[in-house]
C-alpha cells in the first residue's frame, strides 16, 4: 500500500466564538493547498480513497484533493484523535490518503515507520505538508518514501505551469 499522510491546509485561528472543530480553511489556505494538489499531480500521485477527519478544515482540505482522487472521500473520527489500531484496520485500497491534524499526523508517520508514536514530534509537519509512505499499514512496517513540505509541492506546481 502507498499512503499519503496530509496535514490540513492553513485554517482560521481559534477563538472563543468558534469551536476548534469548526475552523475553516482561510482563502490563502485554500489557494496554497490547491497548489499542493497540483504538485501531487505533477508527481503522478492519485488516491483511491481519502480518509479525513470530520473537523471542517480537514473536510475542506480533503475536498480540494478531488483532482487526484479516483474514489471516495471517507470521513472518520479516527483522524480527530491520537492514532489507534482501528484506523489502520479500516484502510483499504492500494493508494490511500489520510487528512488530519498535528500532532496526530506526525504520530501516524512515526508509528508506521518506527513503531513508536512519540517520535512524531520530531517531524516538522507544516500545514499542507505530505508524507508519502509505502508498505504494510502496521506499526513499524512502512517506509518513508518522501516527506514533502508544502513549499516543495507548490514549487513543483509552478514548474508544471512554466514547463
CATH number, position 94: 3.40.50.1240
The whole model's pTM is what? 0.95
Q: Has residue 163 been placed in a domain?
A: no
Q: Has residue 136 been placed in a domain?
A: yes
pLDDT digits (tens, 9 = 90+) for 87-108: 999 998 899 999 999 999 999 9
Q: What is the pLDDT of residue 122?
A: 83
Strand 130-135 relative to strand 142-148, pairing: antiparallel
* 149: containing domain: 2-13+22-158
If you average pLDDT over every residue of the chain, what do you get? 94
Q: What is the pLDDT of residue 92?
A: 87
Strand 47-52: give its sheet, edge to edge.
69-75, 47-52, 95-100, 2-7, 130-135, 142-148
pLDDT surpasses 70 at 111: yes
Rounded to 5 degrees, what are φ and ψ at 43? -80, -5
Amino acid at each position: 500500500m502507498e499512503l499519503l499522510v496530509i496535514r490540513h491546509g492553513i485554517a482560521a485561528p481559534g477563538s472563543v466564538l468558534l469551536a476548534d472543530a469548526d475552523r475553516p480553511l482561510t482563502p490563502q489556505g485554500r489557494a496554497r493547498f490547491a497548489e499542493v494538489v497540483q504538485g501531487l499531480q505533477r508527481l503522478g500521485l492519485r488516491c483511491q480513497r481519502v480518509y479525513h477527519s470530520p473537523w471542517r478544515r480537514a473536510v475542506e482540505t480533503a475536498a480540494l484533493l478531488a483532482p487526484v482522487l479516483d474514489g471516495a472521500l471517507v470521513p472518520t473520527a479516527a483522524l480527530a484523535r491520537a492514532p489507534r489500531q482501528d484506523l489502520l484496520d479500516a484502510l483499504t485500497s492500494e493508494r490511500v490518503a489520510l487528512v488530519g491534524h498535528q500532532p496526530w499526523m506526525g504520530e501516524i508517520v512515526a508509528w508506521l515507520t518506527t513503531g513508536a508514536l512519540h517520535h512524531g514530534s520530531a517531524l516538522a509537519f507544516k500545514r499542507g505538508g505530505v508524507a508519502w509512505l509505502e508498505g504494510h499499514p502496521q506499526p513499524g512496517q512502512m517506509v518513508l518514501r518522501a516527506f514533502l513540505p508544502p513549499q516543495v509541492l507548490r514549487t513543483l506546481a509552478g514548474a508544471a505551469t512554466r514547463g
